[in-house]
Chain A
Amino acid sequence: MDAAAPKPKENMGEPLPRIDARLKVTGQAHYPADLPTANIAYGALATSSIAKGRVTKLHLDDARAVPGLLDIVTYGDMDKFERPKFGNTGATSIGPLHDRTIFHDGQIIALAVAETFEAAEEAAQLIRADYEEEKPTASFDSPGTKTIPAAGKSPLFKEDVKAGDFEAAYAAAPVKIDQRYSTPTQHHNPIELFSTTAMWEGDRLIVHEPSQNVTGWKVELARQLKIDPARVRIVSPYIGGAFGSKGPMTTRTAIVAVAAKRLGRPVRCVTSRMQAFGTQTYRAETRHRIRIGAGKDGRITAFAHEGWEVTSRPDAYVVGGTSATGRMYDYGSVLTHVSLVQADRNTPGYMRSPPETPYVYALENAMDEMAVALGMDPVEFRRINEPKTEPIGKKPFSSRSLIQCYEQAADAFGWAKRDPKVGAMRDGDWLIGMGCATAIYPTAAAPCAARVRLTVDGGVRVQCSSHEIGTGVRTVAAQMAAERLGAGIDKVEVEMGDSSLPPAPVSGGSISTASVCSAVLKACDAIRTKLFAAATGEGSSLAGSHNEELDVRGGKIVAKSGASAKVEDVFKTMQVGAIEEYAEFAPKSATPQALKKLYAGQPEFHGGESDEESVKYAFGAEFVEVRVNSYTKEIRVPRIVGAFAAGRIMNTRTARSQLMGGMIWGIGQALHEATEVDRRYARYVNRDLQDYLVPVNADIKDLQVILVPEVDHAVNPAGVKGLGELGNVGTAAAVASAVYHATGKRIRDLPIRIEQLIT
């Protein structure tokens, strides 16, 4: 069996190929900007070239003179609509065309609409603005920042967690470190460009746009346009990579919808890659101070994690990863504090494992420093600080297989062959370093609805408005239905990515598989109940059997006794051609309003640290080998091994691919990714894929993913922990530790580049 399709172990599903694979390799999977639309007009954005001030005048004459120009939407044109809102569904509260204030570089100042893409681009480039410019504040250390506490600013970040008396324990600790770490601005850069295609059919609006949250967007867009949400439909059947960037709706969507209304024609606006840096969200730059104190035996007695994060002036976006880092190990005492630093920037947002990527990077780099300070093997250091309960609320973990992950990954990696001495391992001119780190991601789920139909010919249709962003959610939903209804996978069709389907939560926070599969499971079980009721009726071959003795397999209802009845015959008995069930799943701890909120596009997340009886996390351990050239200091990662435990694995193939992609993201975060800010002007400089580097094929050589079996019935009915965001947590710290092992240089500021090693 090839590497892409790992053999399932306990509590793992078959590595079935994606059910949409054929569409994807033939060019027939239609992404939102692919959908043909008659009589389409093209839109192009004009954006600000300053970060702070006011637009005093717009020069539109040159743009209007472009043949084929149809309309320009700009100041005044959005006045009768509502401003955007910052929150779960809205990327920012800045309504760029609602007034002339400029809050950040690259803010939309106009939308040019023309007969052709070329004319629209030409016109947009000809739009010029006069500004009343103010000196902007770029980031940390710039004059004019305002620092505020983060706790309570976001519903997802309520408090600075703490436990015990950190100060006393730290003061008394015989071995301690006190270090600072930082991570840069990063942009998601999915390969699919951001786009909006808006079309009106009478008073109904259809928007084709790549989205991780069609239900939320439907409601928010309707609010902005002051129309009934029932008249808005968001269509997003395939999404070309998202990573959080397509979760919150940005301000472009309503502007394009207004343009389409004014023209009475469909309008498509594909944002250029350069413009995406200012019009979409991004991962905020963060700074950290970490203090760890321990006894000489390596037992941690004190842990403090302070974080600082950049956000925009109007919106308090919180990264806030101390909730996870504060619960990672058996610390004794914990002190945390997170601050927001407001600057003249666009509002940051969720990017793949939003809190954990930067915060766990800092923690795990510090853990390695601490192991060095203790003279202890870094794996052993984690082992002896493995907690029985989490240190903040003293709740148990619903399951925690971190040590198994470390053992299996270390074994596969050959950790035992590592010479712990710095600079001791070498291959010719290349210094070899090895490092490891922990991955953690909270397991949550949200309310979700699904409709499943079983037809007499054995066909199954699953409908759910969740989003296929590449995770394979279509495939695992099909697998769930196929398993529960005893159908072949080829008999299952799955419709997703359309707000007219049963609502699903935002595809973020690694909740989709758990939430969607739990809803599909519930709908399938309702179908089973109906089938079983009919099949066990008086006079039938299964009469008297109880439901728990029955299963559906290969078109038959089968009893433990061996007796069976054809599903086809049961349909005859019922005198129906199809059974369709609509199910709503809500996590156990959901509030009474949870389902209502789902339909309103405001899904409640439950799980992680918030549940009463236990905390819920998925864990992993990652090991990397780096090579650093002894002359020129370029850094490569030729080998990486990760072992992960995440409850039930629905499909080992798609699970491995997600984790692999995450690990490679982690390598990129360690060595490549950074959006550079020109600090004089608070403007992004490297706004394209030529200068914003991500790993390419040649950067990745030997990569191994180990799926560690784990059973966890407490997390959700499907027993599934998410893993889309687990793989890239910790990787950068493992690389930093390996670079230290190779060179003796501890790099604390990401990305790790030649210049940090060469001087």
Chain B
Amino acid sequence: MSQPSALPATDLNRRSFMTGTVSAVAAVPLLGSPAKAETAGRSDTGPREPAVTSLRINKQPYELSLDPRTSLLDALRDHAGLTGTKKGCDHGQCGACTVLVDGKRVLSCLSFAVMNGGKEVTTIEGLSSTDGVLHPMQQAFVDHDAFQCGYCTPGQIMSAIGCVNEGHAGSEDDIREFMSGNICRCAAYPNIVAAIIQARDETKGA
């Protein structure tokens, strides 16, 4: 079990949620079909009813039947099978779970998945092109050894892309300040700053 098996693209089985066979089978990229309208008001349902949430993850439509308490982070990891996004504190204190929602970097642990109906989520798995060419930010992290254990790295990379897109990577001091929501316990900080500068300059020219 050192590598994940290919995730089967089965139809959503709502009962699978309640019977718990969640992790490996609930990933449901609905290839080619449009995402359904987001969940409507549910005043007449009980709190334990699963909520169906439609959203796009890395340009693929997903329809997930979730306990409303499910964080976007757990939805990605346990229900969509995208474990690249990491849980480091589950309380918005470390940044390891950073993803882009509609292009903006956010903490997926502090957002309930149901709040993201109809939105476009980008995770670390959605960055490199299908032919395997790394995103300039990924390549820059490799070039500058911007990690050691690698656990905070997906969050750092997503945050770094957000930081550049926001226009907050103008100077080294700006990068340090605007990347301070991503804790790296191995403390690769100087290398992370160098990587962001490289990727910023490359993408500027592109």
Contacts and interface: CB of A to CB of B under 8 A. Distances in A.
On whether A and B touch (CB less than 8 Å), the answer reads yes
B91 A273 contact: yes
Given A21-B142, A470-B148, A36 B7 contact: yes
Interface stretch (B36-44, B100-108, B176-184): B176-184
Nearest to B159: A697
Contact of B143 (A2, A192, A243, A664): A2
Main secondary structure of the interface of B (DSSP, over half): loop
Interface in A177-224: 189-193, 206, 208
Contacts of B190: 3, 660, 700, 703
A660 B188 contact: yes
Contacts of B157: 25
B20 A41 contact: yes
A158 interface: no
Interface string B118-153: 000001110110000010001101111111111111
A81 to B, nearest CB: 24
B87 A193 contact: yes
B14 interface: no
B81 to A, nearest CB: 6
Contact of B150 (A24, A40, A665, A698): A24
A28 interface: yes
B170 to A, nearest CB: 15
A29 interface: yes
B67 A191 contact: no
A4 B18 contact: no
- A189, A273, A657: residue with the most chain B Cβ atoms closer than 10 Å: A657
Nearest to B149: A470
Nearest to A114: B20
B96 interface: yes
Nearest to B138: A25
A117 B184 contact: no
B33 interface: no
Interface in A673-704: 688-690, 694-701, 703
A239 to B, nearest CB: 6
Nearest to B85: A27
Nearest to B81: A36
Contacts of B139: 25
- B78, B81, B147, B185: residue with the most chain A Cβ atoms closer than 10 Å: B185
A30 interface: yes
Interface in A15-36: 17-18, 20-31, 33-36
A469 B151 CA distance: 10
Nearest to B177: A698
Contacts of A37: 1, 23-24
B22 A5 contact: no
Interface in A503-560: none
Contacts of B60: none
A21 B153 CA distance: 10
B194 interface: yes
A688 B91 contact: yes
Interface in A241-271: 241-243, 270
A122 B48 CA distance: 12
A122 B67 CA distance: 12
A192 B151 contact: yes
Contacts of B77: 34
B89 interface: yes
Contacts of B182: 697
A480 B78 CA distance: 38
Interface residues of A, number: 83
Interface string B167-202: 000000101110111111111111111100000000
A56 interface: no
A28 B86 CA distance: 12
Contact of A115 (B18, B128, B138): B18
Contacts, number: 240
Interface string A650-667: 000110111011011100
A378 interface: no
Nearest to A664: B187
A697 B172 CA distance: 10
Given A4-B145, A22-B134, A35 B150 contact: no
A34 B145 contact: no
A368 interface: no
A314 interface: no
Contact of B149 (A35, A68, A469, A694): A469
A29 B93 CA distance: 23
Interface string A35-55: 111111100000000000000
A238 interface: yes
B186 A470 contact: yes
A653 B175 CA distance: 23
A3 B192 CA distance: 12
B70 interface: yes
B94 interface: yes
Contact of A35 (B1, B91, B145): B1
A190 B185 contact: yes
B83 A27 contact: yes
- B23, B69, B147: residue with the most chain A Cβ atoms closer than 10 Å: B23
Contact of A36 (B20, B83, B88, B90): B83
A25 B141 contact: yes
A620 interface: no
B185 A20 contact: no
B89 A116 contact: no
Contacts of B191: 3-4, 657, 660
B20 A192 contact: no
A664 to B, nearest CB: 4
A572 to B, nearest CB: 33
A471 interface: yes
Contacts of B23: 36-38, 40
B45 interface: no
Given A27-B84, A37-B24, A690-B91, A653 B145 contact: yes
A238 B149 contact: yes
A661 B186 contact: yes
A243 B82 CA distance: 27
A690 B93 contact: yes
Contact of B176 (A24, A238, A697): A697
A377 interface: no
Given A40-B22, A241-B185, A660-B187, A26 B147 contact: no
B127 A26 contact: yes
B142 A22 contact: yes
B149 A270 contact: no
A434 to B, nearest CB: 20
A39 B21 contact: yes
Contacts of B189: 664, 695-697, 699-700
A189 B89 CA distance: 10
B32 interface: no
Given A25-B153, A191-B185, A240-B150, A36 B145 contact: no
A349 interface: no
Given A27-B84, A191-B88, 19 more contacts: A4-B143, A23-B150, A24-B147, A25-B138, A26-B124, A27-B124, A29-B150, A34-B83, A41-B20, A68-B18, A235-B2, A272-B90, A273-B90, A470-B147, A654-B145, A657-B145, A697-B180, A698-B173, A698-B176
21 contacts: A2-B144, A3-B191, A4-B144, A5-B145, A25-B153, A26-B134, A27-B124, A33-B83, A33-B87, A36-B7, A37-B23, A37-B24, A116-B67, A122-B69, A191-B89, A193-B88, A240-B149, A270-B87, A690-B91, A695-B189, A697-B176
Interface of B: 1-5, 7, 17-25, 48, 67, 69-70, 74, 77-78, 81-91, 93-94, 96, 123-125, 127-128, 134, 138-139, 141-154, 157, 173, 175-177, 179-194
Cβ-closest 9 pairs across A and B: A27-B84, A240-B151, A470-B149, A115-B20, A24-B150, A470-B148, A664-B187, A27-B124, A34-B83
Interface of A: 2-5, 17-18, 20-31, 33-41, 67-68, 70, 114-119, 122, 189-193, 206, 208, 235, 237-243, 270, 272-273, 468-472, 498, 653-654, 656-658, 660-661, 663-665, 688-690, 694-701, 703
